Amino acid sequence: MQSNNLKPKASAVVFRFVRKNLWLFGLGLLCSVLNTAFNSLTPQIIRMTVDSVIGSSELPQWIQRTGIAQFAADNTKAMLLLAAVAVLITAILSGVFSFFARLNTAKASESSIKALRDELFGHIQKLPFSWHTAHQTGEIIQRCTSDVEVIRNFISAQMVEVFRISFLIVMTMTIMFTMNVKISLVAVIFVPMVMFYSFFFNSKISKRFMSADVAEGVLSSVVQENLTGVRVVRAFGREQFEIDRFDEKNIAFSELWIRLGHMMTAYWSTGDLIMALQVLCVIAVGTVSAVHGEITLGEFLAFVSYNATLTWPVRSLGKILSEMSKTGVSIERVSYILQSEPEHDPPQALTPPMDGDIVFDHVTFGYENQKPVLDDVSFTIPAGSTFAILGGTGSGKTTLMHLLNRLYDLEDGKGTITIGGVDINQISRAHLRKNVSIVLQEPFLFSRTIGENIGIACESKGREEMMEYVRGAARSACVDEAIENFANGYDTIVGERGVTLSGGQKQRVAIARMLTQNAPVMIFDDSLSAVDAETDAKIRHELKEKMGNTTTILISHRITTLMQADRILVLDNGRVADIGTHEELISRKGIYQDIYQIQMNNADRELLQQVSAGDSTESR
C-alpha cells in the first residue's frame, strides 16, 4: 500500500479535523505561554535576591517604593522570605496555567482524533470491494490504530509544544541579551548548529520510518491471517511453519527498528555533545566576566539558569522534529485511505422496483490487468423464477453475482446488466444491495449471539417481533432444531467468524439471515455445499414454499441442487456453454450431461426418485 506522493495534501487532511477545535488549542497555547512566562521570572527573582543580599546592587526602583522592600532591605531573613514567597507565587501561577494548558490541549486533541477515527472508519465502509481485496487487512488495521495513535500523540503533546518552545527560546534569548550581549552570543551561537543538525537528521530518517511502518503492517497481516485461519493451521499441523514465517517477518521488522535505534542514538549523542560544549562555554565566559566585574554574581547565576532553560527546549525541539518525521509518515498513510476514491452513485440515482427480469447483455469482465473472467456473456433471468448456474472452478459463476451486486463495476463498452429494464449503474447501490441479497459459500458470522446474527436485517424491530422473524427464517433454513439443541439456544454466542458452528450450520444460519431481509432477489452462491444431500433437498423445499415470487439464483457444483430450477446456465471458461432446463441439458451431449453422469451414483439416484415422486404428488 503506497502513499503515492500525498505529502502536499496530507497535512491539510489532518488540519481539517484540528481546525474544529482551534479555539481550545488556542486557549491551551495561551495558558502554556503564560506558564512559560511565569517560569522565566524565577531566575530574575534569584538574581535580585543574590545581588541585594550578597552583592552591593540595589533592588529595582519599583520594588524600592513598596514598604515591604524597605523592610526587607534592613532584614536579610525578610529578604530571603520575600524571595521565597515570590518564587512560590510564580510556581503556583505557573502550575495553574500548566494545568489548564494540558486540560484544553487534551480536550482539543481527543476531540480531533475522535473525528478522525469516525471519518476514517466511515470512509473505509464506502470504499469499493476491489480496494479491500487489493489491501491486506492487517495493514489497514495498523493504519487505523498505530498510525492514528502516532498522530494523536503529536496533536496532544508535540504540536502545542512546538509553539511553546519557540516562544520560550525567543523570550529567554531576549532576556539574556538585555543582561549581557557577549555571554548571550556564546550561548546562542550553538542554537543554529543544533537546529540545522535536527533538520538534517529529520530529512534522513523519514524514509526509515516509512519502511518500519510498512514492515509493521506486514507483521500485523501475518498475525491476523494466522488467527483467522487457526483451524486450518491446526488441521494441517502448520504451527511450526507459521512460527517460522512470523519469525522471518519479525526479524525484518526488528532489524529496521534496530537501525533506527542506531540513528537515534547517534543523533542524541551528538546533540548532547554540542549542548555540553555550549554549557561549558557559557560557564567559562560567565565566570571570567564575573571575576572581572562585568556582571554581578546574581546575573551569572541567572545566566546559568537561563542557559539551562534554553538548552532543554532546543534539545526538545530537536526531539519533536525527529518525532515529526514519524508523524508525517503516519499522516501520509492515514491520508492514503481518506483520499482513496469511495463508491459513487450517479447524481440522480434511481430506486426502482427490483422485481423485473434480470438481463446480462454481452458482459465482458476481467479483474485488474488480467485476462477476462467473463467473455461476451448474455442471458436472461425471468422475474420470480429459479435460475441455476453450473460451472467449474474459475468459470466466472461468482463473478457474475459480484457484478449483479455491484461489488465490481463493468467498464464502459463491456456490456450491460439491467433489472426490470433499468441499468444497474443507474440504481443506488444501497437500494440495489438491499434488494439483491447473497449467501456466500464461506459466510461470515459476527461474534454475537446466533439470534443477533440471523436478525441483523430486522434489528430495528422490537425483541419479540425480531425473534419471531428469526425463528421463522431458521425453520426455513432447517437450522432451528440445531440451534435449540445448544444450551442457550438462540442466545448462544457465536465465536469469532462463527468458529463454534460447523460448516453446514454456518451456511444455514447465513441462509436464515438472508431470509429475514425478504429481498426480491436472492442468490445462493454454493451456500449448500457443506450440508448433506437430504438436508439440501429439505432446505430447497422450504425455500420454494417461502419465496413465492422471489427471483432465486442458485450456484452450485451439485446437480441435485440445480435440477429443479426453471433454467440452468452452464459456464465454461467464462463463456456460456449451454442453457436450458434440466431435461433439455441431460438430453444433449455437453458439460452438464457429463457432470450429471458422474454425480448420479446410486445414492443420488434414490434421492432423485424421492424428490421427483414428491414433486409429482404436489402437482396432483
- pLDDT tens digits, residue range 370-419? 788 999 999 999 998 999 999 888 888 889 999 999 989 888 888 999 99
- Chain centroid to Cα 417, Å, comes to 33
- Average pLDDT of the chain, as a whole number: 80
pLDDT at 250 over 80: yes
Burial class (CB in 10 A: 0-12, 13-18, 19+), 153: middle
Query: How far apart, in whole angstroms, are the C-alpha atoms of residue 200 and residue 413?
Result: 53
Query: How far apart, in whole angstroms, are the C-alpha atoms of residue 130 and residue 343?
Result: 10
Query: How far apart, in whole angstroms, are the C-alpha atoms of residue 611 and residue 620?
Result: 14
**Residues 325, 209: contact at Cβ < 8 Å?**
yes
Burial 297-324 (b: 16+ CB within 10 A, else e): ebbbbbbbbbbebbbebbbbbbbbbbbb
* Strands, sheet with 422-423, edge to edge from the N-terminal-most edge strand: 374-381, 358-365, 416-419, 422-423
- Most confidently predicted of 144-153, 546-555, 579-588: 579-588
**Residues 337, 157: contact at Cβ < 8 Å?**
no
**Ordered alpha helix ranges (H), 477-518:** 480-484, 503-517
Query: Residue 575 — very low, low, confident or very high, per pLDDT cuts 50/70/90?
Result: very high
- Most confidently predicted of 196-205, 314-323, 362-371, 608-617: 362-371
- pLDDT tens for 123-154 read 998 999 888 888 887 788 888 888 898 888 88
pLDDT over 90 percentage in the chain: 14
Strand ranges in 326-446 using DSSP code E only, listed in sequence order: 358-365, 374-381, 386-391, 416-419, 422-423, 436-439
- What confidence score (pLDDT) does residue 58 get? 52
Name the CA dihedral angle for 574, 579, 581, 584, rounded to a multiple of 10 degrees: -120
- Average pLDDT of 238-256? 84
pLDDT at 62 over 70: no
Helix (H, G, I), strand (E, B) or coil at 120: helix
Query: How far apart, in whole angstroms, are the C-alpha atoms of residue 396 and residue 375?
Result: 9
Who has greater pLDDT, 530 or 66?
530
Half-sphere exposure of 392 (CA within 13 A, CB side): 8
Query: How far apart, in whole angstroms, are the C-alpha atoms of residue 238 and residue 244?
Result: 10
Who has greater pLDDT, 303 or 120?
120
- What confidence score (pLDDT) does residue 364 get? 93
- What confidence score (pLDDT) does residue 363 get? 94
Q: What is the β-pairing status of strands 374-381 and 416-419?
A: unpaired
pLDDT at 617 over 50: no
pLDDT at 261 over 90: no
pLDDT at 193 over 70: yes
Query: How far apart, in whole angstroms, are the C-alpha atoms of residue 272 and residue 321?
Result: 16
Half-sphere exposure of 448 (CA within 13 A, CB side): 12
Helix (H, G, I), strand (E, B) or coil at 166: helix
Of 463, 377, 470, 380, the closest CA to residue 419 belongs to 380
pLDDT at 108 over 60: yes
**Ordered alpha helix ranges (H), 54-158:** 61-64, 67-73, 76-126, 129-134, 137-142, 148-153
Of 413, 420, 388, the closest CA to residue 401 belongs to 388
Residues in the chain: 620
Residue 389 — φ and ψ, nearest 5°? -130, 130
Q: Which residues contact 360 (CB under 8 A, 6 or more apart)?
A: 377, 378, 379, 380, 400, 415, 417
Query: How far apart, in whole angstroms, are the C-alpha atoms of residue 477 and residue 508?
Result: 5
Of 276, 290, 38, the closest CA to residue 167 belongs to 38
Helix (H, G, I), strand (E, B) or coil at 66: coil
Q: Which residues contact 283 (CB under 8 A, 6 or more apart)?
A: 304
Of 161, 432, 177, the closest CA to residue 316 belongs to 161
- pLDDT tens for 309-368 read 777 777 677 667 667 777 888 888 888 898 888 988 888 889 999 889 999 999 999 887
Residue 391 — φ and ψ, nearest 5°? 180, 160
Q: Which residues contact 206 (CB under 8 A, 6 or more apart)?
A: 325, 328, 329
Domains of the chain, first to last: 7-338 (1.20.1560.10), 358-443+513-619 (3.40.50.300)
| pTM for this prediction | 0.72
Half-sphere exposure of 264 (CA within 13 A, CB side): 16
Burial class (CB in 10 A: 0-12, 13-18, 19+), 260: middle
pLDDT at 434 over 60: yes
Half-sphere exposure of 281 (CA within 13 A, CB side): 16
Residue 528 — φ and ψ, nearest 5°? -115, 15
**Residues 459, 516: contact at Cβ < 8 Å?**
no
Enter the DSSP assignment of 588.
S
Helix (H, G, I), strand (E, B) or coil at 600: coil
- pLDDT tens for 24-59 read 888 988 998 898 888 888 888 777 777 666 655 555
| DSSP secondary structure string for all residues of 269-295 | HHHHHHHHHHHHHHHHHHHHHHHTTSS
